[in-house]
Structure 1
Amino acid sequence: MTLKVKKIMTMLLCLILLYFSYFGLGSSTDKVVIATNADEEAIAAIKKALNHHGYKGEYIIQPQSTAELGGKMMAEGKNIEADIVTQATYYLESAQQENDMFASIDNKAKESTIDNYPSYITPLLGNMGSIFVNTKALEKQGLPVPKTVKDLTKSEYKNQIAMPNIMDSSTGWLVIQSILGSYGNEEGSKILAQLIENVGPHLESSGSGPLEKVESGEVAVGIGLRAQAVKSEDKGNPIRYIDPKEGNYSLIEAAAVVNKGGDKQQKAQEMVQTIQQHGREDLLKMYPVPLYKNEKVAKNQRPTYPKKWNDSLSVDLLEKHQDIFKEAQKQVENN
């Protein structure tokens, strides 16, 4: 076979693959693409709402980390592949300011939100932080039950704590907010450095990582998502969640429709309303943070010390707190 013939055959093969990619079997060009930072439980609730209300087989869900999806929104704007994005509201708002990429949605349900949100944001769920412990591992290690994040800076907890890394996980930001919000930047930075020292090799890249290590007994204490710890305890695991006195801070995740125009955008808007209308009940059970008026959660699921950051959350604020975290890490490394 001559080189020329090989080149022609290669070109034909590429054209065939391109054809099937766009027009052949497995084509997804007519489906609504949903890019999401949600965890498995939230994705299951989204799928249930859509599948049971006329949209089964009409969408594709692309799970991504908060940082990865946030970076894509900031860099690509309206050119992002997704038609719907579900993401932390601070990323949605920052991306809108940077790229003007989301469409307003006329949704009457949003008029009943507890807090005010821009017209392009439809709140879906609230993630809240807490401490949690493995009671058996705590007893085995002879450790007291911590009541505050600051308690975890004591030497006896060294290498017995798992927490999410703010550089990779938005859950890690909840930890930083509780420290800086309670103690200020100066004292808070010292506490953060001591906490990082005690965490040692158990700084996790995902929000669910700490609970997995605590459930396995690899460490006795974790800092992470309150809802996950509540669920684990309800399953009968030796897990106990603790509301730290520094406060249960929360991050809201919401849906937004990319402003691309056309029938597909209209369909995407209808799908967001379907998720909010028919998925919110399940989401509230899994993430017991009221977002809409008249929503109630069980007494045992109510946080003891609910708090919010004084100023609006934004990517700029996140980056400032990440810088404080990195500086605390350097202090630990240099000691």
Structure 2
Amino acid sequence: MMTAQSTSVGRHIKVTGAGIAGVVSCLPERQVSNAHFEAQFGESAVKDVVKMIGVENRYWTDDKTSTRDLCLKAGQRLLTQLNWLPESVDALIFVSQTPDYRLPATACALQADLGLSSACIAFDVNLGCSGYPYALWLGMTMVQTGAARRVLLAVGDTISKIVDPTDRSTALLFGDAGTVTAIEQASGQSASFVLGTDGRGACNLIVPKGAFKNHSQSGDPRLLDKASDCLYMDGGEIFNFTLKAVPALVNETIELSGVAADRHDGFLFHQANMFMLKHLTKKAKLPAEKAPINIDQYGNTSCASIPLLMTTCLQDQLRNGSMQLGLFGFGVGYSWAGASLFVGPLKCVETIKC
């Protein structure tokens, strides 16, 4: 049974009868170290930026590879490892802010790529940093209500394609990744979600040239000298929003779950930047050893960052045992989402290259 209520932080929702069966992340083959940026910005400037964001390496796609391609490889691997027949998948949700096209929905193309049944529900969700907990809520709700028995969540971004190479604040920060998570019926399991939005912050993390509206012509002075088809980020505003919203999100998610913080085995935060992650962990009074960080190796991979943490930092634990996890996504929108759920042992949890 699903229950819900509202608070100032967000919508509280509990979902039962669904769980994660497996997760696969797919990274591009091309690894980009910080040395790549020294010719553009200078060695000293690169070191100054890295002190804050903490990124040493990231993976970028080539011109021909899209988020859909990364998710396709991850999905194929996951179906094989789980021994799921394509026709047994009832729904496919593609969560990304870097789709293949304005239309059609990338989920439709992925449905065909994966050989899923024509009876498969397929649709896109345009979310970034908060996208993974939102996807889990959607997929698990579909299973709980009986709309689907098995759901694939394709969650990923290729932000490298929309950063301005002359903008230090974004050019060094982001990496690319695609992930697919399998959701299926799981009697006795429950998951708790806190979901919220504040669209007043939309202009602080934005690609100004939209599908049918060009925000760079809105008179916002911050955008006057910015490339309208590239990502713009007001780092100060994003930082202030995060410090205000996320500690409360953590507290309410844990409280809603009914599982005390010290009984959680891990807290997976969207990998925004190193300084922010360490500050959030401390402010939320969580033990640092339970809040893994991999932004140094992969960069900020947007909505893929939480499942990528699962398939890198927690691979052995989730393959061989079970964990009570808190998952926290926050950023572009503004949008935020928290989840607390029991995960593992998983039949498949791994990271592959494409």
**TM-score of the superposition, structure 2-length normalised?**
0.25
Could you say which structure has the larger radius of gyration?
1
* Structure that is richer in strand per residue: 2
TM-score after normalising by structure 1: 0.26
More helix by share: 1
